[in-house]
Structure 1
């Protein structure tokens, strides 16, 4: 993947995990509350000094940050970030055009690339920073500078957009690098290295959130993996595990949480109705019959024993009880397969 593609994915695709989104919500809530307090203090100071235009601007900021904080509290991260960004864009643009506080207020714009990515998220901060870059170029380098020529020195008019661009570029690179490695770390923490499926840690987190929801849980165990490993080697065993993961993906689709929870154990958490899950299980059994091991010409069937339970079937069960029932059904299915196939279960 090229560096540009990496940056594009971070800016335009939702790569955040659930924990990353929760962190962003908390950052937004705390950050907007803090900025609302700062804006209230600045408003009081402006009132005391009689700077009425600055009072109006900081009051708008305060109201905007309060609304953004309420949206973050209600878990609307994008709405919260967008409201905060719009208020900052309006107010800081006013600072630059008005030359308030002898032009010093314009320097607040430099905070956008510095704290924007952490507070607003990379995408919202990127577009806000781009807006200010274009705004400063238009205001300071075009004939529009006649509006502000009396507020700033010629040196400031010439150099401030360059200074902002340096801050924007430097902090942008750092923010993209940070998000890239954060995404990579989160992916490694929640995904199985061999199959790319979710791991047991993520599976447990998803299951905990299902306590009061209607869902189906399917536990799978891959039959005869020990025999494959012992007879044809662990690469053959890995091939079978990865093939099983692919069959599970194809059968249950992206809307289900598919995890590898052990060496030859898999689990699927689905919010589809139980009849749909039964159909998907039937499709899985049919598709696995087509698999052929590339390490041997001998017949090595890929068979997944399954145990399926649904919340509607056991409304009073705890999560632990549902897992135990799914395990019991899976082992019953496994015993039936070994008995009918004639294979030695110990191998």
Structure 2
């Protein structure tokens, strides 16, 4: 069960970073452009030999791959890979059915499991490869083989499907392993190990991405973490940090991206409007006050100081000035909290 859950997670997880998305788009663009050029060469060869039906199919392949390349250039990865997969399925099936050239059938269909995971992405490539498995079984191992019985040699009919299944099995296994370790490395690079929130590296990237957009930024700092660490131990402090992370996640997702940006510091980048954000802040404050740690029965032990700023408040500010304003508001709130609560700051 553990292996199946791992495979399912590999196929269900989306690309986690902008860098991964850019890499897939670049692969789609370069791969589609390269295959379009190869298909154009075959089109010229088919025209020269008078194979007009084959020429028409390769022309369709050229056009669709160019469209896929254009969509990849415009940052639409799913549409690009889907168009390339659909047209590849139609055209490559035609090659296998026509039987005019065994080399075409071998070359094109075997390219799907070999290049599919890198070019089309795991999910689209898997669906296309699965289609060709069903297609080849139906074409070569059912009465439908009468359609191509005169087009292929008996050796080819017997060996080509086995070759495809072996290629698919081997490449799919390698692709799943590669994607699993890539996902794991990305998660470790962009997630906090203690809370599983996004970390500071991802937070910085997200801020840069939203720099020119209308967004809200809230920064939080745990109050009395040093007191908890010194009084109850660092495991108690970790429990409080994790509790704050869970409550922030519950309050602000899915509108906002929650990150742990320091030992006791958190941040939320939100697309919610001002009214909704105020409601979320109020709900979050209420939930922290009702939290009880396993190490103490003290009421309202979990409190966070907050500083919130909307990008639209300061259209003339650059991103660094917006961050500074949020920090200043948070530190004013922290100073007020310690003043009103009667606790010592250190």
Q: TM range, normalised to the smaller chain? A: over 0.9
Report the Cα distance in structure 2 between the residues aligned to 1:122 and 1:45, rounded to whole angstroms.
33
Q: For residue 186 of structure 1, report the CA deviation from its aligned partner.
A: 0.9
Q: Is 1:78 matched up with 2:96?
A: no
Question: 2:189 aligns to what?
Answer: 189
Q: Indicate how the Cα distance of structure 1 residues 259 and 12 shifts in structure 2: closer, same or farther if over 3 A, else same.
A: closer
Report the Cα distance in structure 2 between the residues aligned to 1:304 and 1:231, rounded to whole angstroms.
19
Question: 2:168 aligns to what?
Answer: 168
Question: 3-state DSSP class of the match of 1:343?
Answer: coil
Question: 1:265 aligns to what?
Answer: 265
> Following TM superposition, where does structure 1 have runs of at least 4 consecutive aligned residues deviating by more than 6 angstroms?
none
Question: 1:7 aligns to what?
Answer: 7
Is the 1:216–1:272 Cα contact (8 Å) retained in structure 2?
Answer: yes
Report the Cα distance in structure 2 between the residues aligned to 1:201 and 1:38, rounded to whole angstroms.
41
Report the Cα distance in structure 2 between the residues aligned to 1:71 and 1:297, rounded to whole angstroms.
58
Is the 2:289–2:299 Cα contact (8 Å) retained in structure 1?
Answer: no
Question: 3-state DSSP class of the match of 1:105?
Answer: helix
Report the Cα distance in structure 2 between the residues aligned to 1:83 and 1:173, rounded to whole angstroms.
25
Residues 87-138 of structure 1, C-alpha deviations (whole Å, 9 max, x = no match): 111111111111123x221102111101011100111111111111111111
Scaled by the length of structure 1, what TM-score is found? 0.96
Report the Cα distance in structure 2 between the residues aligned to 1:15 and 1:45, rounded to whole angstroms.
39
Scaled by the length of structure 2, what TM-score is found? 0.96
Question: 2:65 aligns to what?
Answer: 65
Identify unmatched segments of 5+ residues in structure 1.
none
Is the 1:217–1:308 Cα contact (8 Å) retained in structure 2?
Answer: yes
Question: 2:123 aligns to what?
Answer: 123
Q: For residue 173 of structure 1, report the CA deviation from its aligned partner.
A: 1.1
Report the Cα distance in structure 2 between the residues aligned to 1:319 and 1:269, rounded to whole angstroms.
13
Report the Cα distance in structure 1 between the residues aligned to 2:345 and 2:12, rounded to whole angstroms.
50
Question: 1:151 aligns to what?
Answer: 151
Q: How many residues align?
A: 345
Report the Cα distance in structure 1 between the residues aligned to 2:335 and 2:66, rounded to whole angstroms.
61
Question: 1:89 aligns to what?
Answer: 89
Question: 2:326 aligns to what?
Answer: 326
Question: 1:105 aligns to what?
Answer: 104
Report the Cα distance in structure 2 between the residues aligned to 1:300 and 1:144, rounded to whole angstroms.
73
Q: For residue 14 of structure 1, report the CA deviation from its aligned partner.
A: 3.0
Report the Cα distance in structure 1 between the residues aligned to 2:341 and 2:198, rounded to whole angstroms.
31
User: In terms of mean alpha carbon deviation, does 115-124 or 45-54 score higher?
Assistant: 45-54
Report the Cα distance in structure 2 between the residues aligned to 1:97 and 1:136, rounded to whole angstroms.
10
Question: 3-state DSSP class of the match of 2:25?
Answer: helix
Is the 1:141–1:158 Cα contact (8 Å) retained in structure 2?
Answer: no
Q: For residue 250 of structure 1, report the CA deviation from its aligned partner.
A: 1.4
Is the 1:293–1:300 Cα contact (8 Å) retained in structure 2?
Answer: no
Residues 146-192 of structure 1, C-alpha deviations (whole Å, 9 max, x = no match): 11111212122122111111111111111111111111111111110
Report the Cα distance in structure 2 between the residues aligned to 1:225 and 1:203, rounded to whole angstroms.
22
User: In terms of mean alpha carbon deviation, does 117-126 or 8-17 score higher?
Assistant: 8-17
Q: For residue 254 of structure 1, report the CA deviation from its aligned partner.
A: 2.2
Report the Cα distance in structure 1 between the residues aligned to 2:51 and 2:283, rounded to whole angstroms.
72
Report the Cα distance in structure 1 between the residues aligned to 2:92 and 2:52, rounded to whole angstroms.
16
